[in-house]
Chain A
Amino acid sequence: MTIDFETPKPIAQMQTMLQSVAENMMRTTSREFDENEHGIPWDYIEFMHTAMKAAGGGGGLTPTDEKPKEGAEKRASIGYQKLAAQIEMLSWGDVGYYLITPGGGLGAAAVQAAGSPEQKAKFLARFNDDKPTFAAMCMTEAGAGSDTSAIRTRAVLDEATKEWVINGEKIFVTGGDKSFTEYEKLGKGFIVVWASIDPTAGRSGMRAFVVESGTQGVSIVKLEHKLGIRASDTAVISLVDARVPYENVLGSPTVEKTTTGFKGAMATFDATRPLVAASGLGVARAALEFLKEKLKENGVQIRYGLPRNKLTSIERDVIDMEIMLKSAWLMVLKAVWMADNKKPNALESSMSKVRAGDVTTKVTQKAVEILGPIGYSREFLLEKWFRDAKITDIYEGTGQINRLVVARQILGYTGAELR
C-alpha cells in the first residue's frame, strides 16, 4: 500500500458510460420530471436496470464485492468506491433520477449491514431479476427524525402464528412508492421498517423488519411535494396490524441488554453516509461546471496561480468552490475506501457527510448568485440543482447530527457525555 489517487480502470470506464447516460437520458428530461412531480420516468428506470444488469453491476446500485482484475497480488474490493463514483455521476446527471435508479438502495443496505447470510441470500437476490426492483428504508416518523430512539412504531410477536404484528406510521420514505406499490413494470420490492419490540428497552429494543410489497395492512398514505429531488417519490407509509414472517427481523429477535438493534441501523448509516455525500457532490459538480461554462461563454477567465489579492471576486469564489468540491470528494473516497478495506469508518463517514452537506449547498447557492438571472431562471437547470442540493444536508442525518457524531468520535465521548 502507498498513497495513490489513480482512478481504477473499472471505475473510469463506468464513469464514461454513465456520463453518456446522464447527458442523453437524464439531463434531457430533467426539467420535465421536476415539473411533473409524481410522474415516473420509466424509460430511465428500464434502461438503467437492463444496462446495469448487462454490466454485471449486481442489478442496480447495490455494493458488490468486486475486485479489480489488474495486478496479480490479492487486492481488497473496490465495490463501495465504484458505487460512490456511480452515484456521483448519476447525481451529476440528475439526483432525482439517481434516487429512482432501480436496486436495493437503503433497504438493501440495511439487509447488508444487519442481516444474516440467509437473509441476505433471500432478500437481495431479487435485484438481479428481469424486472427493475426497488427497496426502501422506513425510519423517520412525525415525532422521530434524527432522534431515532423516539420511534413509536411497534412490532409485537404473535406467538400463535409466529408472525410480527407491526403498527405505526413512517414518513419521508425515499422510493417508498416504487418499493411497496405493486407496479406491473416492477419486480416485487420491499421496505425495511424500523420498529421497537420492547419500548421499555429504548434503543436496544429497536429492530428492522423486511416488509414485502403488497403486505396486508400496509398502505401508502401520501406522496410528498418537495423543494427539490422531485423525480424521486417520498412516501408516508402507514402500518396497521401488518403481519410479517418471524424470520424477516434483521438481527436478534430478542432484547438483550445491549444496543445491537440500534447499532445495526447506525452501521447502515456508516456505509451509506459517504454515498449520500457522493450524490450531493455530483449535484455540486454539475453546478460548478455550468457556472464555469457560462463564465467562459461570457469571456470570464479563472486565472489560477495568481495571489489572492490579484484575483477578482468571481475568481476567488470559483477557486474556493473548487477547493471545497475537490476536497469533499476526496473525503468521500477515503470513507468508501475504508469500507472496502474493512476499516471502521464511522468518523470518516460522518465527516464526509458534514463536509458534503456544507459544500453542496454552498456551491449551488453561490453559483446561482454569481450567474444572477441565468442562475435564477427556470430556463436552465441550475436553479433546480440549487433546490435539489439542499436535501444533502438533511437526509441520512442532518449536518448537525453528523457534527455530533464527529464530535463524539474525536472527543471520545458517549451519547450520554455529549448530548
Chain B
Amino acid sequence: MYSFEPNEEQQMLVDAVGKYATNDLRPAAHDAEEGHELPKKLISKGWELGFLQASTPEAYGGFGERSAVTGALAVEEMAFGDLAGALAVLTPSLFATPILLGGSEEQKQQYLPAIVGGDWAPYTAALMEMSFDFDPNALKTTAKADGGSYVLNGEKIFVPFAKAAEAMIVYANLNGVTQGFIVDKNAAGLSISDEREKIMGLNALPMYRLKLENVTASRLGGASGHDFGLILSAMRIASASAALGVAKSSFEYAKNYAKERDAFGVKIAQKQAIAFMLAEMATEIEAMRLLTWEAAWKLDNNKEDSCVSAYLAQTGSADMAMMVTDRGVQIYGGHGYIRENPVELLMRNGRGFAMLLGLAIV
C-alpha cells in the first residue's frame, strides 16, 4: 500500500532532530566553518537525540531497530542544519552501523554496547582513496588473509575524527571484493596524518589521512565476511539524504532572501525569473527526496533492486544538490558570493556529494 507519511515514531524523531538542526546546528554553521571547529557541546547535544541508540536493538544496548527510511528522514533534517555538524554527530554510526549490518555476533557484543551506551566517542571508518575515479567496489587498499586474521596495505583519505578514534573500519580489496576490517587505534603499521585534510567545504569536520603498512585487522563478519553491497547502499542513501538537507537549506535561505530583497519596486521573488528558479528547486528537491525514500524502503524490505535504487538516488541527489545550491548563490546575487552569507558554504558543500562517500551511513 502506497503511503508518504512517516509513522509516529519517525515523526517524533524528525521533529526533535529538526529542532536541533534549526536551533543549534544552523546558527553555529558559519563560525564552525571559518574557525575549523565544532563545539563539543554541540556534538554531544546531537548525540543525545539518540538516533544511533534508537537504531540499535536492545540486545546490544540500544532501544530500537535500524531502518534506512528512518535514517533518511533523520539525516536530511540534520544536514539541513549544517553538513559538518551532522556528519560529526553521526560519525560513530560509520563504525557501529556496518557492525550492525555485517558484523559477527561476537563483534556486535564487543563494540556496540560500549558505543551506544556511552557519550559521543570518535569511532569512525575509512573508505575513500585519492584517485579521480574512486570506486568503492574497486579499492586500491588491499587485504590479504594471514592465518585467522588479515593484513592491510594502502592509503585512505577523508577519515573523520581519525586522530582521536578508538577504533575504525577500514575498507579494503580482498581478492577483488570490498570488505570492511576492524582496525584498532594502536594497531602496528597504522599511521594517521598530523595535518587535517583541506577540502573545498566541510572545514569544521576534522578529517585525516591514513597509511596502512602491514596492519593486522579482523574482518567484519568474521571468516565468512559480509555483504558490502548492503553497507554501500546504506552509505548511498545517507549521502542522498544529506544532499537533500543541504539543498533544502539553500532553498529556504534563497526563498526567504528573495521575499525580502527589493528591486524595481517589487520583491525579487515576484519576478518570474526568480520565482521559476525557486519552483524548479523545490520540485527537484521533492523528486530526489521521494527517490531516496523509495530506495531506503527497498533496502529495508530486501527488494531485489535496492542496490541499483540506492545508486540512482545518490547519483540524482548529487546532481540536485549542485543545481539547487548553485541557484541559491545565484538568487542572492553578489551577496551570495560573500562568506558572511550562508549560501556559498552550502554551494561548496553541495558539490561534495558527487565524490564524497562513506562519510555517513543510515
B308, A304: Cβ atoms closer than 8 Å = yes
B272, A404: Cβ atoms closer than 8 Å = yes
A4, B269: Cβ atoms closer than 8 Å = no
Nearest Cβ in chain A — how far from B73, in angstroms?
A: 8
A406, B135: Cβ atoms closer than 8 Å = no
Neighbouring B residues of A410 by C-beta, 8 Å = 255, 278-279, 282
Binds B, one of A289-297, A318-326, A383-391: A318-326
Neighbouring B residues of A319 by C-beta, 8 Å = 312, 315
Task: Given the known inter-chain contacts A3-B69, A322-B312, please indicate yes or no for A305 contacting B291, CB distance below 8 A.
Answer: no
Query: Is B275's CB within 8 Å of the partner chain A?
Result: yes
Binds A, one of B5-13, B152-160, B339-347: B5-13
Bound state CA distance, A323 and B2, in angstroms?
20
Binds A, one of B40-48, B79-87, B196-204, B292-300: B292-300
Neighbouring A residues of B301 by C-beta, 8 Å = 6
Can you name the residue of chain B whose Cβ is closest to the Cβ of A11?
B2
Query: Is B110's CB within 8 Å of the partner chain A?
Result: no
Can you name the residue of chain A whose Cβ is closest to the Cβ of B303?
A5
Neighbouring B residues of A404 by C-beta, 8 Å = 272, 275-276, 279
Bound state CA distance, A327 and B134, in angstroms?
26
Query: Is A17's CB within 8 Å of the partner chain B?
Result: no
Query: Is A403's CB within 8 Å of the partner chain B?
Result: yes
B312, A5: Cβ atoms closer than 8 Å = no
Interface string of A311-349 (1 = CB under 8 A from B): 000000001101110111011011001100000000010
Task: Given the known inter-chain contacts A305-B307, A307-B135, please indicate yes or no for A2 contacting B278, CB distance below 8 A.
Answer: no
Nearest Cβ in chain A — how far from B236, in angstroms?
A: 9
Bound state CA distance, A406 and B255, in angstroms?
13
Nearest Cβ in chain A — how far from B255, in angstroms?
A: 7
- If over half of A's interface residues share one DSSP class (helix, strand or loop), that class is named, otherwise mixed; here it is helix
- Please tell me the size bucket of the interface on B: 35 or more
Interface string of A399-419 (1 = CB under 8 A from B): 010011011101101000111
Can you name the residue of chain A whose Cβ is closest to the Cβ of B297?
A5
Neighbouring B residues of A351 by C-beta, 8 Å = 282-283, 286
Interface string of A26-70 (1 = CB under 8 A from B): 000000000000000000000000000000000000000000100
Neighbouring A residues of B279 by C-beta, 8 Å = 354, 403-404, 406-407, 410
Query: Is B133's CB within 8 Å of the partner chain A?
Result: yes
B3, A2: Cβ atoms closer than 8 Å = yes
Nearest Cβ in chain B — how far from A383, in angstroms?
A: 27
Bound state CA distance, A396 and B48, in angstroms?
49
Bound state CA distance, A80 and B286, in angstroms?
20
Neighbouring B residues of A417 by C-beta, 8 Å = 270
Bound state CA distance, A292 and B269, in angstroms?
41
Interface string of B1-40 (1 = CB under 8 A from A): 1111111001000000000000000000000000000000
Neighbouring A residues of B258 by C-beta, 8 Å = 411
Task: Given the known inter-chain contacts A3-B69, A406-B283, A411-B255, please indicate yes or no for A337 contacting B132, CB distance below 8 A.
Answer: no
Nearest Cβ in chain B — how far from A416, in angstroms?
A: 10
A328, B287: Cβ atoms closer than 8 Å = yes
Bound state CA distance, A184 and B129, in angstroms?
73
Query: Is A8's CB within 8 Å of the partner chain B?
Result: yes
Query: Is B104's CB within 8 Å of the partner chain A?
Result: no
Bound state CA distance, A365 and B350, in angstroms?
29
Bound state CA distance, A407 and B5, in angstroms?
24
Bound state CA distance, A355 and B320, in angstroms?
13
Bound state CA distance, A410 and B285, in angstroms?
13
Interface string of A213-236 (1 = CB under 8 A from B): 000000000000000000000000
- Which of A7, A304, A417 has the most chain B CB atoms inside 10 A of its CB? A304
Neighbouring A residues of B272 by C-beta, 8 Å = 404, 407, 418
Query: Is A260's CB within 8 Å of the partner chain B?
Result: no
Query: Is A306's CB within 8 Å of the partner chain B?
Result: yes
Can you name the residue of chain B whose Cβ is closest to the Cβ of A9?
B1
Bound state CA distance, A3 and B312, in angstroms?
19
B287, A330: Cβ atoms closer than 8 Å = yes
A308, B315: Cβ atoms closer than 8 Å = yes
B135, A4: Cβ atoms closer than 8 Å = no
Query: Is B337's CB within 8 Å of the partner chain A?
Result: no
A327, B290: Cβ atoms closer than 8 Å = yes
Can you name the residue of chain A whose Cβ is closest to the Cβ of B69?
A3
Task: Given the known inter-chain contacts A307-B135, A323-B312, A411-B255, please indicate yes or no for A4 contacting B3, CB distance below 8 A.
Answer: yes
B69, A305: Cβ atoms closer than 8 Å = no
Bound state CA distance, A197 and B275, in angstroms?
33
What would be 26 A-B contacts, judged by CB atoms less than 8 Å apart? Answer: A1-B7, A3-B3, A3-B5, A3-B6, A3-B7, A3-B297, A4-B297, A5-B293, A6-B1, A6-B301, A68-B1, A306-B135, A308-B354, A309-B133, A327-B288, A330-B290, A330-B291, A330-B293, A330-B294, A334-B290, A351-B283, A351-B286, A355-B287, A404-B279, A407-B276, A417-B270
Interface residues of A (CB under 8 A from B): 1-8, 68, 71, 75, 78, 81, 304-310, 319-320, 322-324, 326-328, 330-331, 333-334, 337-338, 348, 351, 354-355, 400, 403-404, 406-408, 410-411, 413, 417-419
Given A1-B5, A326-B294; 9 other pairs, CB 8 A cutoff: A2-B3, A2-B6, A3-B3, A68-B1, A305-B307, A323-B291, A323-B319, A404-B275, A406-B279
**Top 8 closest pairs, chain A to chain B, by CB:** A330-B290, A407-B275, A2-B7, A323-B316, A327-B287, A406-B279, A407-B279, A327-B291
Interface residues of B (CB under 8 A from A): 1-7, 10, 69, 132-135, 137, 255, 258-259, 269-270, 272, 275-276, 278-280, 282-283, 286-288, 290-291, 293-294, 297-298, 301, 307-308, 311-312, 315-316, 319, 354
